């Protein structure tokens, strides 16, 4: 649950793979491979119904690596958005980095470029204290911290959740961690 120092959010920024949908070390390369984590789409719908803006912030290096063309990526994205909308949820903004790690871009997490873009798009650039980033990796948290917003970890990605949490706690000893997006959203909405 959010502490008394934290405020009720105006926006939640979500990583995609490992938070909304199951991730794979081999990437999500087709709409058929995109499968929502149980409860994640419903959690987004709950945020929407609570009047909280939702944005997606996602590294998608499979595009930059040539493993996924833009049309297929857009088809995956459309499947996700339609699935969210079917349950009453809404995504207010999407930022994704299509670059490979070696491209030297300024948007790829752990850099804050996409987070800052989302804050600007949501008109919350001066209200970072009202925005939270939910992710499954240390780089998600690092991007949030670099943009001066709070991070919340979920353990539904394919990485070592215990190790990720331990590393995140070196920066923020009070970082919150939940099994999945559904549990994180339930805690946020209880505040």
**Residues annotated as catalytic (active site), given as ranges:** 15, 17
Contacts 24+ apart (CB under 8 A), 37-42: 37/156, 37/180, 37/181, 38/180, 38/182, 39/180, 39/181, 39/182, 40/180, 40/181, 40/182, 41/83, 41/84, 41/86, 41/87, 41/89, 42/87, 42/89, 42/182
User: Cβ distance 184 to 14 under 8 Å?
Assistant: no
Q: For residue 84, what is the DSSP state?
A: H
Which strands make up the sheet holding 53-59, listed edge to edge? 93-97, 53-59, 11-14, 131-135, 150-154, 176-178
Whole-number Å distance between alpha carbons of 94 and 102 = 23
């Amino acid at each position: 649950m959010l502490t008394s120092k934290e405020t009720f959010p105006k926006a939640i920024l979500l990583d995609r793979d490992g938070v909304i949908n199951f991730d794979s070390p081999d990437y999500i390369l087709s709409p058929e491979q995109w499968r929502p984590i149980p409860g994640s789409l419903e959690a987004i719908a709950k945020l929407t119904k609570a009047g909280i803006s939702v944005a997606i912030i996602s590294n998608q290096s499979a595009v930059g690596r040539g493993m996924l063309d833009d049309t297929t990526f857009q088809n995956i994205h459309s499947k996700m958005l339609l699935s969210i909308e079917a349950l009453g949820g809404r995504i207010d903004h999407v930022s994704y980095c299509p670059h490979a790690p070696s491209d030297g871009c300024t948007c790829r997490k752990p850099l804050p470029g996409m987070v800052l873009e989302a804050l600007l798009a949501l008109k919350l650039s001066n209200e970072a204290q009202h925005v939270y980033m939910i992710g499954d990796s240390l780089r998600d948290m690092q991007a949030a911290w670099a943009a001066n917003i709070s991070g919340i970890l979920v353990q539904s990605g394919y990485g070592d959740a215990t190790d990720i949490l331990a590393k995140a706690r070196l920066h923020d000893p009070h970082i919150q961690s939940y099994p999945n997006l559904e549990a994180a959203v339930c805690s946020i909405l209880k505040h």
